[in-house]
Amino acid sequence: MENKSALIAGASGLIGKHCLQFLLNDPNYSRVIAIVRTPIETIHPKLEQKVIDFDELEMLGDSLYVDDVFCCLGTTIRKAGSQDAFRKVDFAYPVKLAALTQHCEAKQFLLVTSLGANPKSHNFYIRVKGDVEEAIRRIPFIAFHIFRPSLLLGERNETRIGEKIGGLTLSFFKRTMVGPFRKLRAIQANDVAKAMVRVAQMNLSGINIFESDQIQEVADKFN
């Protein structure tokens, strides 16, 4: 059992809410800091909530001194209201958080992006996901773990009709997605969160990329 500290951003989101629970239940962590824009209902002796404007992350001060950082931030262009606002949440905030926590000697940074993330993509969403990966790659963490899930399954706070239909379709064809197509299978947000927390205990170093099928494999080992 270790006596580690963790910081999580995006604890109220689809993946983040599960990640938070896994961190609180993991005996390796004695302290978990959740940075949020509005308070969450979770109460736990390990948990410290820091309500903050993400434009002012540097105001977190000593709370940035943690071992592992879990970044589950993400939005949609529709919810953000514009491409610029989307890029702020999915690129600017994670990069700033990474720079600040590495400066405060964080050892690991675990980031959720997306299947197909590519800074050269013509698709804006995929390009931003690739851009954030590339930017954080340049920050010298002992370990940087990238998680690229396919379509996420789980109960969201808001309804996304397109994703719901896509999830049902991919779930229906799941058995036919084999070989190189395995990473296209829809995946439960709970499993992505589980894999993130497990990977943080593997003592890996350097840059490690987990495609959706690899995320599922890690999660399945701990069911």
Q: Which residues are catalytic?
A: 125, 129
> Which residue in the block uniquely carries the two structure tokens 């599922």?
216
Measured CA to CA, the distance from residue 40 to residue 115 in angstroms comes to 28
**What is the per-residue burial (b if ≥16 Cβ within 10 Å, else e) of 169-191?**
ebeeeeeebeeeebbbbbbbbbb
What's 71's DSSP letter? E
Measured CA to CA, the distance from residue 12 to residue 114 in angstroms comes to 18
110 close to 145: Cβ distance less than 8 angstroms: yes
